[in-house]
Every structure is written in structure tokens, then in C-alpha cells.
Structure 1
Amino acid sequence: MSAVPLRPIMLVLALALTLGACARTKEQEQTTRPGVVEATLRPYQIKGVWYYPRIDWSYDETGIASWYGEPFHGRKTAIGEIYDMNEMTAAHKTLQLPVDVKVTNLENGRSIMVRVNDRGPFVNGRIIDLSRRAAQLLGFQNQGTARVRVQVVDDQGRPGVSTLPVPTTTPEERTAAAAAPVGEVTARPLEPPPGARGTGGVPAAPKPTPAPTPVHTVPSTPPPAVVTQGAARPTAIYIQAGAFLNVAYAERLRAKLSRYGRSFITRATVDGQLFYRVRVGPLRDVNEADIVLDQIIASGETGARILVE
């Protein structure tokens, strides 16, 4: 038996190791920060539904909050901590873990800070699951749900988005309307024309200094149980079933959803791009919204969600 040349094999192995190292480095840059558990950023499936966690320091959404206590008290959370229903914590389906969020009860104006350290709630129409203590302070423990706004905050408690009273950009719109990449423009001196004196020309424009990347720190313990009281305002509940660039597609979906209630199209401009949003409502309360949402999802519109405005 002839000997197998080792040099080609070694080259292949070296190339594979190099590519693997490059891919790993890129993955780490995209998903890891101090204190973030990398495993909780991987896609996962619950009851046949896939969820895709990601780091989002600009998260700002409205919807319906619920709370959980027994029998989860004393069990491990998604990042291995022990769940204490008397601490200021919460569960979210896709946010990085752990992270602090500001939760505002839009019905009474109360706001609190909580530490998201768990996954859930895996119920249609709920955007966050709060601990029992957090629900008590927000004033909805007895009713079970509340209309809320959820904002990721930095280590100073500052939201990462604008100061708009209610967010108007949906996740799918933020993805679809991403700005096109802008190339770098440079300048260089031109040679003087024949017979001209001097060497003057257009001096090279200095390259702009890139804005520093904000550094976010992750919480190590739940925030204190502090309630901030703001002004309450009237709100309405809707189901948003889709957002389209083509008005014909939006009109087709609006007609389909008319059987579930008043369906209509609203316009919204995001990053200079006009979207046509298809909604149903307003709905009387959370119970009616849950029923209509389940019907719309069962009809095939699995991306439908409850929103509060």
C-alpha cells in the first residue's frame, strides 16, 4: 500500500480550522456582550413555533403584559438563575438576556424597571411576562393583564429610542426599510493645468470621525422596586396583521380580514419608505383581542399581533 501524501491533508485541515475560527469570531461579535448568555440568543421552538432572539438595544414596543408566579417560583430561569416572584424580573421571547427594561402601564401611567432573565410568555398576544411583584406595583395583579409599553434601557435607565409617546415602527418594518449602504467619498488634489503657477489644488477632505459605538452594560441584579407615576391616557387595542410596500397587497389582506371586524389600512413612513399597515379594531378589551387574534392566526396570518395605541 502506497503512503498517502500528508501535505495536501495538512493544508485542508489548516484551511478548515482557519475558516472555523473566522466564523466563530464573527458570531461572537454579533451575539456576545459581557453578561449575555450566548445560548439564549439561539433560535428555539416552543409548541411548533420558532423564536429568533437577538440583541436589540433600541427595543420599544406596545402590547399586552401578563404576570407569572406559582408554580414557577423557585425554578430556574432561562439563564440559570432562580426565579423569585417577589423580585423585579420578567420574561421575554426574544430579547437578549439579561437586560433591563422600562415597563409602563398605559392604563394608569405607572412605570417600573425590571430585569429580563427568562423566556416567555408563550401565549399569543402577550409581549412580556412580569413577576408577581412587578405586576403588583404596576397595579394589574388582580386583573391579570395590562396594556403596556416596554423599552430596553441602558445602565442609566435611559431608553434607547426616541421620546415619541408611542412607538410607531413594527419589527418587520424596521427590517424591510433598512437603509442602503452608503459608500465612502474621498477627495485628492488635482494637478495644475499646463502653464499654471503653483501646485494648489483641492486639499483632501479629512475623513469623518465615526461616532463612537455606545457601550451597554448588562444588569447583575434586579432593579429596586421603584414606581414612577406619570399621566395616564386613553388607549385602544388593535390587531396588526401585516405591513406592505404595495397597497394592492394590503387591500387584499384588508378584504380578507373584514370578516373579523372593522379592517382598515393606515399609512406610515419609516426611514423615508411608505408602508401600508393592515389592522383590525379597535377592540373592546383584551379578551376580545385574544379571540380575534386567534382567529386571524388560524386563517394563516401567523405574524399578526396585538398592539396598543
Structure 2
Amino acid sequence: MRKVRRRGWRVAALMISTAVLPGCAEMNLFGHLAKEATSDAPPVAGSAAATYKVGKPYQVKGVWYYPREDFDYDETGIASWYGPTFHGKVTANGEVFDQNNVSAAHKTLPMPSVVRVTNLENGRSLVIRVNDRGPFVNGRIIDLSRRASQLLGFEGQGTAKVRVQVLPEESRVLAGKAQPDGASRGEPQVAAAPRESVTAETLPPPGASERPRPVLASAPQGAQSRGTAAAEATERMLAAQEVQTVPVARSNAIFVQAGAFSRHDNAVRLQARLAGVGRPAIQQINVKGQTLYRVRFGPLTDVQEADRLLDAVISSGQQDARVVVD
């Protein structure tokens, strides 16, 4: 009887975990979600297998995430990378993860999205396709495939200060291509480029000479032709996996931001509440014509210190706290 009850408890626990985060069968110590490929058909890698997915709000380790379309996304923070543990497993939008291809996981951006990730420590910049969810480790804003981390020059150290910018037109093109009814959502409806154009290219070595960034082509006439040309141009850009070198500030400081408010008194209250954690400062900034008051700790010496402080701030009840780089 004891064995039967234990088995029943395990089944109940599995049902509960599935209800919290449907479709995800595993989360490893690095805080990343994955599931095994279960289809009898051979796995398909890359955009040929893509489905466009925004997703519903979900919860991981007590934290809620709210996926949404955000074509203005532009954030700084800490990037990490993932590889062998998830190699060959299914991503959150139905592709098969290959650690030797360039891809990325993000907590809330639509899948697929196209982002430019810039390593603020060495100036390397790379256009990357987001096709997975993660990382679910406090203080990380994006998880890159192993190959992407190699091209950006931080595989050995494990993390890097980065800037992540959505490329809006390219992201809209992929959204329209991956979703057959994209036209009904106001997105371009285009045909997929041949798969070989994505997978057959050879990766350039880090630091390779720059070539002009491909520009989305436009066909002479017809929405269908323009959409197809734009999709093919986006696929070529992603397939090139070209590392560019861009100017970056010599010093990018790390901060833990506990919150940002439009009212100064709200910032003062949070500052007082966090007195037991440390001595946060209030910074006034202007964002798109709106005055905000940020409550921040820092500058901090390294990622490890930021991780420890972020955990303490979150434990105090400030779940929206995050690590930023300025």
C-alpha cells in the first residue's frame, strides 16, 4: 500500500507541475526548460520547423513571466549560454536545439524573434534568432547557444555584460513567415526560404572582417514578392552568423535595480524598505519624455556580487528586481 500511495503522489505532483508550465518536461540546474523530442519523424532543426508563439503568462520557481510582442525591446544585463545538457531537445517553439548553431532563449520575447546581442566587454555583436524560453536564473536576460557564446567571445567565462536589441522589421518578417494566418494579425504573410539557405553556410571566425549588413530586399511589385524577398534577406542575415565589432564604453557598471517609479515618494518607500539589504540610491532619469525614479544598488564589482545582492533583494519581496548594465 505504501508503494501505491507513493506512486500516486508522484503522479499528482507531475500533474501539478504540468499545469503550472504546460509543455515543458525538464528544467536543469541552469534554470532552462527543455523536453525530449518524442516524434517518430526525424528531428528538424532551424526555422523550417518553426511555429510563431507568444505564449500565455507562466510561472517558474515562484516568479511570473508575461510574454508579449515588444518590437521596441532594448535592454542591458548579463547573458549566459547553454549547450550539452539540452543538445537535441525540443525548444519552446517546436524546433530542435543544436548547441553548434546560433540561437537564443528569452523569457518573454515572441518566438521566433530576431535580436542583436552585443558583448559590452569586447564590442562583438551578432544577430541571433530567439527560439526558446529561458534562462530561469535570477539576473540573466538571455541565454545563448554555445556557438553564439563562442562567436561573442565569452564561452570560457560563462557570462558577459550584453545589450539585447530587437530588430523589429526582421522579427515581424519571421512572425509572418512562421504563422500561416499572419496576414490576419497585420503581419506579412510570406513563404519560407529554402532550408539549405539557413544551414549550409560556414561560420566565420571571431573577429572576421566586417561586411555590410544585409538590407531587407523589396521586390518590384506585389506584397507576396516583397514578403518573400524580405524573408529570404532575413534568413541570409541569420545564416551568415557574422560577427561585427562595434564601439562600446570602456566601463560598463553593473547595478541591481529594485524598481522604477513615476512617483518619487514610491521610490523613497522602497528605498526605506530595502535598508536591511543595503543602501540603494534613487536616480532620476527621463525615458521618452517621462520622468522615472530608479531604486538601485551599485555600481557592483562583478557578476557574482550582483547575483548575491539580487537574491537578497528578491528574498525581501521585490520580485521584479533585475541586474542591469550601464
Q: TM-score under structure 2 normalisation?
A: 0.62
Aligned match of 1:237 = 254
How many residues are treated as equivalent by the alignment?
219
1:255 to 260, 272, 278: 272
Q: Contact between 1:154 and 1:217, CA under 8 Å: does it hold in 2?
A: no
Is it true that 1:132 corresponds to 2:150 in the alignment? Answer: no
- Aligned AA (2:241): A
1:1-309 matches, within 5 Å, as 37=51, 39-154=53-168, 222-233=238-249, 234-309=251-326
The 3 A distance-change label for structure 1 pair 45 and 217 is: farther
Q: Distance in 2 between matches of 1:298 and 1:110?
A: 35
The 3 A distance-change label for structure 1 pair 127 and 300 is: same
Q: Report the secondary structure of 2:257's partner residue.
A: strand
The 3 A distance-change label for structure 1 pair 44 and 139 is: same
The 3 A distance-change label for structure 1 pair 153 and 306 is: same
Where is the helix percentage greater, Structure 1 or Structure 2?
2
Q: Contact between 1:263 and 1:278, CA under 8 Å: does it hold in 2?
A: yes
Q: Distance in 1 between matches of 2:82 and 2:273?
A: 36
Q: Report the secondary structure of 2:80's partner residue.
A: strand
Shift of residue 46 of structure 1?
1.9
Shift of residue 44 of structure 1?
1.9
Q: Distance in 2 between matches of 1:261 and 1:44?
A: 31
Deviations, residues 244-291 of structure 1 (Å, cap 9, x unaligned): 222122112123324434411111123433221111111110000000
Q: Distance in 1 between matches of 2:303 and 2:125?
A: 20
The 3 A distance-change label for structure 1 pair 130 and 244 is: same
The worse-fitting range, judged by mean Cα deviation, of 48-57 and 134-143 is: 48-57
* Percentage identity across paired residues of the two chains: 56
- Aligned AA (1:100): V
Q: Report the secondary structure of 2:281's partner residue.
A: strand
Shift of residue 37 of structure 1?
3.9
Shift of residue 81 of structure 1?
0.5
Q: Distance in 2 between matches of 1:75 and 1:294?
A: 30
Shift of residue 156 of structure 1?
6.0
Aligned match of 1:207 = none
Q: Contact between 1:88 and 1:224, CA under 8 Å: does it hold in 2?
A: no
Shift of residue 149 of structure 1?
0.2
- Aligned AA (1:273): Q
Structure 1 stretches lacking a partner, 5+ long: 1-34, 158-214
The worse-fitting range, judged by mean Cα deviation, of 256-265 and 44-53 is: 256-265
Q: Report the secondary structure of 2:258's partner residue.
A: strand
Shift of residue 39 of structure 1?
4.8
The 3 A distance-change label for structure 1 pair 89 and 263 is: same
Deviations, residues 82-115 of structure 1 (Å, cap 9, x unaligned): 1011111000000010011100000111100111
The 3 A distance-change label for structure 1 pair 131 and 268 is: same
Bigger CA radius of gyration? 1
Q: Distance in 1 between matches of 2:131 and 2:119?
A: 20
- Aligned AA (1:224): A
Q: Report the secondary structure of 1:134's partner residue.
A: helix
The 3 A distance-change label for structure 1 pair 95 and 307 is: same
Q: Report the secondary structure of 1:292's partner residue.
A: helix
Shift of residue 217 of structure 1?
6.0
Q: Contact between 1:40 and 1:78, CA under 8 Å: does it hold in 2?
A: no
Q: TM-score under structure 1 normalisation?
A: 0.66
- Aligned AA (1:102): R
